[in-house]
Every structure is written in structure tokens, then in C-alpha cells.
Structure 1
Amino acid sequence: MPPGDKDITITTSGEERSFRVHVPPGYDAATPVAVVLAFHGYTESIDDFASRTHYAEAVDERGHIVVFPRGKAPFGVPAWNAGTCCGTSQIQNTPDVPFVRDMLDRIEQDYCVDPKRIHATGFSNGGMLSHRLACELADRIASIGAVSGTMAIPECAPPRPVPVLHIHGTSDLIVPYATPLAAQTVPSTIEGWTTRNGCNAETQTTYQQGKARCERQTGCDAGADVELCTIDGGSHEWPAGGSAMGMGDLAATDYILDFLEAHAMP
């Protein structure tokens, strides 16, 4: 496949769903590459999400494929069924996890993919779905990096420890840091993963800049680190240079990609 963008439609659970694949320059069909699944937020298009995160540009430098799946939008409002959120996808119990599995089957059919380096990342509702995939699709998803979207399913029992990076602003009014609304709180989400991954009580500060601070739980089973980056006073947006409220103190896209690259499937 040539480098650049390609829109693909598949049939899954009896309906058509689509996604965009971005192939980096220099892609060699004989060399397995990592794949990053990048899930947009509630009401957000893949174009807006790609522009917000600059994932395509970032993976071009690293030689990965990035995939931008489209959430169902029966009334023009894209959403993911992350469990208790969001929108029509949650109300209608849209089979998004089976969609992701079928999408991966197609991607592995069309491209030379390293099955141990398939990762998920997302913003808000897309971050919630990333957490759900870590629970329910851990046989395919090596690790995740979520921004402003917490765990939104009541039970999570992956068959193996899954490395998790979570980034969140403490003043997020849409998905509050410490108040459960449509999903769990950040502390509850992180506590759940540290327990599942068998992490010890020690933490290591991995990043400190302005209002951004990242701390990693160490000693986790199978090297499945759990890391939380907190933006003090940060809002509901993707941290990047130029952002307000301290959100510019962490370049989330590159930080997430660094974490995912360091956490392949055992």
C-alpha cells in the first residue's frame, strides 16, 4: 500500500462501519510495523481529532501506521459505546468492541502489522473506549494511552496485565477528575488498573513541567506499568503546545507514543 490516507469500509455485526488508515512514508510491506488506533471524542469527527492531535505527522517520524476509526453517528453525532457513555452509541449498545476486532482483522490482512505492537489511544469518549478495549480486547491491544476519558464499564477482567497511561486535567468539567458522572473518577480508574496489574505501592515521577506531572506505578506484573499524568487546573482538551490552563505543559501525542512504544505485548 502506498503512503498516505485511505478510507476503508467493512461489514461488522451486520452493518457497514468505516475507518481511515494513515501509512507513513517509507512503509515496507515486508517489514512489520506498529499500529496505533486513535479514537475521537464524543461529537468529534476524525478530521477534527487528527488535526487536534497531529497523530499522522507524529507517526510519520516513527514509522507507525495510525488508524482513525469512525464512531457511529445516526443523528450526525459521532460517539462510542464505552459502557456508560456516550450518546446514541451507548443507548443502543452499539457493538464497538466487535467493530474494533473486525477492523484489526482487515488491517492485518491489508498491511504488514506486528501483532505485538497494536495500541489504542483516544480523547474523552474515545479514551473511555480505549480503557474498555484494554479490558475486553487485551488479546489484541498491547497498551493504551487515554486523555480525559476514564473507565466506563462496571467490570474489567483482562486475561493479562495491560500497560495504561492516563492523562487528565484536574479542572475538567466534562469528565470530572474526582466526581463520577458518566464514567469513573480518575483515582478510581487508576486504582483499578494498579490492582489488576499487581503494581506495588511505589511511584516514580517520570515528568514534571509547569502544571503537568506524571507518576508511574512501578513493580507491576509483566512490566505492565500504570502511569497518570495530571495537569493541575487543566481543562477538557488535548494537552499540546500553546494550550491554555497548563495544558501546554505536556505534549500529549509524543508522550503517549513514547509510552506505547515502550509497552509491546509480552
Structure 2
Amino acid sequence: MVSKALSTALVLLGAARPIFGAKPSPGCGKAPKLVTPVAATTPGLSITSGGTARQYFVKLPANYDYNHPYRLIFTMHAVGGSGQQISSGANAYYSLPSLINDTTGVIYWNNGGSDVAFVKDIIKAVEDDLCIDQNLRFSTGFSHGAAMSFILACALGKDLRAVAVLSGSPQISGGTEPVAWYSQHGTRDQVLPIAGGRQMRDRFVRFGLAKLGLTPDSDHTPSPKDPGAARTFSDVYTWEFFSQFK
């Protein structure tokens, strides 16, 4: 099981074009209340889940339109990381915001057996207040965050459209619902060997929805680069995969 002491999840809201077949959340048409400051040091919002007070952060997309269904993307941190760390710096939110062209929000959480229930509670709280397309929920993360995205894919397969798993390792058995799967893993990963990445992928490949990208000669990093490249391809491939779902 993933370590309980080090766990944070992030939520990113990226714009989804109005489409036929969208499933608007109960928050559509309402003026939003779940707004937290963008500073990484703010305490965020509180919610009680499983009898425990938990914390999460939400920042609305730029020019948020409460009549427009948005994508909901969880971005999970690695072991030793935090919501504050993921939400700041040049590579905040795995650099996805620059591609999605939206601002982002954060969920802070603790890990363990209660966390799937906590994520479900967060989904309800967010979607009761904000306008989300319930057919377009996603999760991504690196290392520990990748493992949590895998856990969510296994436990909440009916609730997630796709996941992007960056150098993860399986933590539980499961994966009986068809969830679109993208993963990448360094062939020289000495922290979480690539065999674990292949094992996770193979739980979903039977649905014909899995894709595994190898990053040759790469060790354990959220930002691998092609030889000679100046920047990582992780964010580009992740958003390319997520954005195809309409």
C-alpha cells in the first residue's frame, strides 16, 4: 500500500468545449462558492470525510463560466511532495496549464485505505458547486501520484474517463472497468522498475485502451526528455491523450 504519511492530490480544471452528450454536474448554473486563494501557503478548504477533517484547494479556470461544463483533472504528487509544491514553480501541475490555457486548482489529501472515499467526497463537493462534465474526469501523477491514479482507475473505473500514469508501480489488484490508459516509464528506472509499469498497463490492455510509452535510458523522473530536446514531452503527451476525449 502507498505510504500514508506522504500524500497529496491536486485538481486541475481545464476547459472542455461544449459538446453533444456532455453530462453537466449539479453545480452548472450556480455562482461558485468553492474558491480558494492561489497562494501555495493558504490553508485551503475543509471537508469531513470518513469522520476526519481533510483539506483541499480549488481555483477556478480563468473567466470561469458556470453554464459551461469543464474537464476535471486530478494531478497527484510524488512521495515527499505536497500540494504546495505541485501548485508552484515552473513545472506546476506537471506543466499542463500552459497547454490547456487555463488556471488550475488543488486538492490536498492524506493517503491510505480511506482515500478512494475521500476522492469521491471531493468529486461530489466540487461537482455540486462547479460546472463539470461528469463524462470527462481524469487523473495523472508521477511515482506515488501515478500509483494513486492507478488505484483510482481500479476503484473508480466507472467514474474516470482516462488516466496518465507517469513512472508508477501497482499498489492493489483490480481494474475491471474500461478506463483509457496512458503511461510512460523510463527503461532504466532504478526506483520503480519498468516491470511495474507494464504490470499496471496489462490490467487495462484487455480493453483495447492502453498505451505505454517507453523513455529510453531515463531514470525515475517526471520530466523525461528526448535526446537533444530542451523540454520534457510528458505534459504534451498527457494532454494530447486527455484532450482526444470529447
TM-score scaled to structure 1, two decimals? Answer: 0.69
CA offset digits 1:43-63 (Å, max 9, x no partner):
211122233743386336536
How far does residue 186 in structure 1 lie from its aligned partner after superposition?
1.9
* Higher relative contact order, structure no. (Cα contacts within 8 Å, ≥ 6 residues apart): 2
Counting matched residue pairs gives 208
Match of 1:71 among 104, 109, 119: 109
How far does residue 240 in structure 1 lie from its aligned partner after superposition?
5.5
Aligned to 2:92: 54
Alpha-carbon separation, structure 2, partners of 1:229 and 1:163: 14
Structure 1 pair 247–190 and aligned structure 2 pair: CA distance change class (3 A): farther
Q: Is the 8 A contact 1:56 1:66 kept in 2?
A: no
- % same residue: 23
How far does residue 99 in structure 1 lie from its aligned partner after superposition?
0.4
One-letter amino acid of the counterpart of residue 257, structure 1: W
Aligned to 1:254: 236
Match of 1:149 among 162, 168, 176: 168
Aligned to 1:100: 119
Consecutive unaligned residues of structure 2, counting only runs of 5 or more, are 1-31
Aligned to 1:234: 218
How far does residue 163 in structure 1 lie from its aligned partner after superposition?
0.2
Match of 2:185 among 168, 187, 196: 168
Structure 1 pair 194–155 and aligned structure 2 pair: CA distance change class (3 A): same
**SS at 1:23 equivalent:** coil
**SS at 1:24 equivalent:** coil
Alpha-carbon separation, structure 2, partners of 1:226 and 1:17: 33
Q: Is the 8 A contact 2:150 2:200 kept in 1?
A: no
Consecutive unaligned residues of structure 1, counting only runs of 5 or more, are 73-79, 81-88, 179-184, 198-219
Q: Is the 8 A contact 1:22 1:56 kept in 2?
A: no
**SS at 1:21 equivalent:** coil
Higher strand proportion: 1
- Counterparts of residues 182-193 of structure 1 (less than 5 Å): 185-193=196-204
TM-score scaled to structure 2, two decimals? Answer: 0.74
